Structure 1
Amino acid sequence: MATTKISGKELRQLGYPEGKVIGIAIKVLEGKYKGKSKKHKLELLGSVIKAPEYYLKHDSLAPIAKSLIIKTEHNETVELNKNRLDYHIYGAEGIEPGAINQMEIAMKLPVTKAGALMPDAHQGYGLPIGGVLATDNAVIPYAVGVDIGCRMCMTVYDIHPEFLEQNSEKLKKMLIDNTKFGNEVFKRPMDHEVLERNDFNEINILKSLKDRAYSQIGSSGGGNHFVEFGVGEITDADNEWQLPTGKYLAVLSHSGSRGLGANIARHYTKLAMDKCRLPKVAQHLAWLGLDTEDGIEYWNAMNLAGDYASACHHQIHDRLSASIGEKPLMMVENHHNFAWKELDRFDNEVIVHRKGATPAGKGVLGIIPGSMTSPGFIVRGKGLVDSLNSASHGAGRVMSRRKAKETLSKNEVDRHLKQAGIEVIGSGLDEAPMVYKNIYQVMAHQTKLVDVLGTFTPRIIRMCGDKRFGEVD
């Protein structure tokens, strides 16, 4: 007796695409049309694939129709605009062609409204590091970045900087005891209200990440993340903290949202790339609409990760303040891997992505770090519309991690640090001072973007790993 079952091959011959659609179709036929002839089943399937929209409310065939429509939507490539929108580049002569090319592509997205490229820019994935992109009702996970909410935080103490030279061993021990990097976490993490947020119960991807978030809170990542003791100098008497100009002991930290943010980024980037098919050259710029369930979920998860990153920094500074035995005179902090809802020059709401860029709206405070042997800058934004109210997030790399490891030597870097009077706990050759641009040149390209209120000069630095320029943990 001839079988009446339909095979995947026969479905593909009808035009059914590979994937879940075929499985759904076979399941529906065997469940709802069992005993019917193969001819009857094939005629039904042929009718559904020709006009799936007519079967969306069918009692039996609706699941096939819905999966066909979704599959079709997923497979349609969203074309880039033929012409890119104009955008401003700050310090173009110091920016590698790869980064500019990535920005050119981003400016052709159908959802793009405006953009800008900061002077520390270098090539990344999707949007370049140092890229700022405003979109219409769409969020691009890879334009936010993998380390969601990566940020700077600085505290200043009423202690003279001579304390650094007189107590260097004590301060190094404070850093080792009160900071954790990479895979290392505190045995007894401090609690924080961010861990009680409803998002952990309401968003599926977050349910499995809460325990990890708890275990890693108050710690820092690897790579270029650090906690430093140094000299904070207030140079502008008209500062928001009403501090006298002069030099102070200060702490500066750089880190993000740890495993929480990384897993959110991976999950929603994949989702965006599945649902928003772009040409290969732009595939990492896939977006989620903020009028969709997935887009709303990502937005809420991104904001949770940003608040978590802030909580990590606050705990780092709280631990060090307690160890020093002083309350800070001031704190200044800012995200530089995030997206915000802001108004454009025409007062329309846009989603501003800053992937490695510092918010610099009028009166907005932030920190722009240099390298191990060069100062960072405390800044106040000027609110320049052309820059999308943004500034650089640091000096920016001139050498890839791979090239640094291949070309630099431990002895060479050690001599450079010794001459600068810098002590480093941890780190690798890929974070040596010479892999970064000249911070003074970077700052010279953004005098229209920010006012400088002061500086931070590193003295004792802790990064991932306990051996200077050895293997990173």
Structure 2
Amino acid sequence: MPILQTLNKGRVPVHIWTGDTESTALNQLVNVSQMPFIHHHVAAMPDVHAGIGATVGSVIPTRGAIVPAAVGVDIGCGMNAIRLSLTASELPDSLRMLRNRIEQAIPVGFGMHDRDPVKRSTIVPLAKRLDQILGKHPAIAKMQRKRPYDIWIRQLASLGGGNHFIELCLDENEAVWVMLHSGSRGIGNVIGRYFINLARKDMGDQLGRLPDRDLAYFTEGAQHFDDYVEAVAWAQDYAMINRREMMQQILDALALQLPPFSITKEAINCHHNYVVREHHFGADVYVTRKGAIRAGEGELGIIPGSMGAKSYIVRGKGSEASFCSCSHGAGRRMSRTKAKRQFNRADLESQTRGVECRKDKGVIDEIPGAYKDIDQVMANQSDLVEVVHTLKQVLCVKG
């Protein structure tokens, strides 16, 4: 389905792939479109909803500037999915022990491993690059809890909280998939918050002229622009490694409980909160995808639903109108606070029937009813991606 709505209230248009957008999100999109460095237009995916400063589900191309709050604080957050050689018939009747195995292997929330979880050959290159960043910005280390180095190392191969998850899914052929959603953990959060605040400070009196103070930005050539690019690249790499290492630990845990299996070639590891240099509409630009994945022609991606709905493995169609992007999920249709008010444990149990997962009040804000209809989201972006596999989760671990 093509663009369903266009806003022309800013310096450039905003093209939206849904007709169902809350007023707060619309205002945020207009605010972004007023910025002087936006290139050509802003694209909003069908899962679009209000965020902090910039809208979740937006694709923002900029020339000569980057907005740290548009990237956000979960820098490099994204998805990883692999298909196993197993089929549904090879899974145990009860998946409780499998969930227990995964929960024992993977720290969630603010948790971390008791010892270094990955090889030194992985840690050392990351540490050298981080030392360079902290050498110029020592306050980043002070913002984290005690022993910052222990924290970022031991939070590798860990999940986090909120909407992050690990799932066991079945596709249309009953093949078993492992899918996870995580980002750059505590260190990425600290880097994001530090540079968002630094951008505000650097703008000085100009901050008050912005449509939203969360749109504070670094300009190319300014004092801290290159430092931010270096730091955000580090956090994105950290997030990618975190997902890769976590996936391996999950597979090791599953191997203790399941028949022998192998991994197929269909493996995807992609960001959906990040900034990258690309070429669009005749210019080299910084593309910030805040809650959106790259969907270049032929590229595989992952679009998850909620913990009780379908998810999709997709292949990009390379749409220039969306800057070769698509949605990163279903997208929230209500806040966490509203979800907790509106739903109860009985609702959660009903909406996650058939899924081995937590069904306590601690995850009510992640109930499927708090999210948009993933089928409608997919229908709205049929011009951006084609569906390769349809997945339905049978097990879900939440942070």
Give the TM-score category using the shorter length: 0.7 to 0.9
- Say whether residues 1:355 and 2:293 are aligned partners: no
Deviation at 1:167, TM superposition (A): 4.8
Which of the numbers 133, 151, 176 marks the counterpart of 1:212? Answer: 151
- Say whether residues 1:282 and 2:208 are aligned partners: no
The one-letter code sitting in structure 1 at the alignment partner of 2:159 is S
- CA offsets 1:138-196 (integer angstroms, 9 cap, x no match): 11111111100000000111001123353513312221222211122111232252552
Q: Is the 8 A contact 2:16 2:46 kept in 1?
A: yes
Deviation at 1:451, TM superposition (A): 1.3
Deviation at 1:416, TM superposition (A): 2.4
Higher strand proportion: 2
Deviation at 1:324, TM superposition (A): 2.9
TM superposition score normalised by structure 1: 0.75
Which residue pairs with 2:224 in the alignment? 294
Q: Is the 8 A contact 2:169 2:392 kept in 1?
A: yes
C-alpha spacing 1:195/1:103, structure 2 compared with 1 (3 Å): farther
SS in 1 for 2:352: helix
Q: Is the 8 A contact 2:167 2:179 kept in 1?
A: yes
Q: Is the 8 A contact 1:180 1:220 kept in 2?
A: yes
Deviation at 1:398, TM superposition (A): 0.8
- Say whether residues 1:340 and 2:276 are aligned partners: yes
Which of the numbers 369, 372, 375 marks the counterpart of 2:310? Answer: 375
Deviation at 1:95, TM superposition (A): 1.4
Which residue pairs with 2:42 in the alignment? 115
The Cα RMSD (Å) is 1.8
SS in 2 for 1:452: strand
Separation (CA, whole Å) in 2 of partners of 1:265 and 1:154: 26
The one-letter code sitting in structure 1 at the alignment partner of 2:322 is S
SS in 1 for 2:389: strand
Separation (CA, whole Å) in 2 of partners of 1:191 and 1:333: 18
SS in 2 for 1:94: coil
| Percent of paired sites with the same residue | 34
Separation (CA, whole Å) in 1 of partners of 2:91 and 2:23: 42
Q: Which moved more, 1:379-388 or 1:206-215?
A: 206-215
C-alpha spacing 1:299/1:409, structure 2 compared with 1 (3 Å): same
Which residue pairs with 1:29 in the alignment? none
Mind listing any 5+ residue stretches in structure 1 that lack a counterpart?
1-80, 234-245, 465-473
Which residue pairs with 1:160 in the alignment? 87
Which residue pairs with 1:435 in the alignment? 370
Which residue pairs with 1:266 in the alignment? 193
- Say whether residues 1:185 and 2:112 are aligned partners: yes
Which residue pairs with 2:24 in the alignment? 98
TM superposition score normalised by structure 2: 0.88
Mind listing any 5+ residue stretches in structure 2 that lack a counterpart?
1-7, 142-147, 256-260
The one-letter code sitting in structure 1 at the alignment partner of 2:249 is R
Which residue pairs with 2:76 in the alignment? 149
Deviation at 1:87, TM superposition (A): 2.5
Separation (CA, whole Å) in 1 of partners of 2:68 and 2:150: 23
Which residue pairs with 1:253 in the alignment? 180
C-alpha spacing 1:323/1:428, structure 2 compared with 1 (3 Å): closer
Q: Is the 8 A contact 1:120 1:393 kept in 2?
A: yes
Q: Which moved more, 1:404-413 or 1:289-298?
A: 289-298
Q: Is the 8 A contact 2:157 2:249 kept in 1?
A: no
Pairs aligned (count): 368
Deviation at 1:281, TM superposition (A): 3.2
Separation (CA, whole Å) in 2 of partners of 1:360 and 1:369: 15
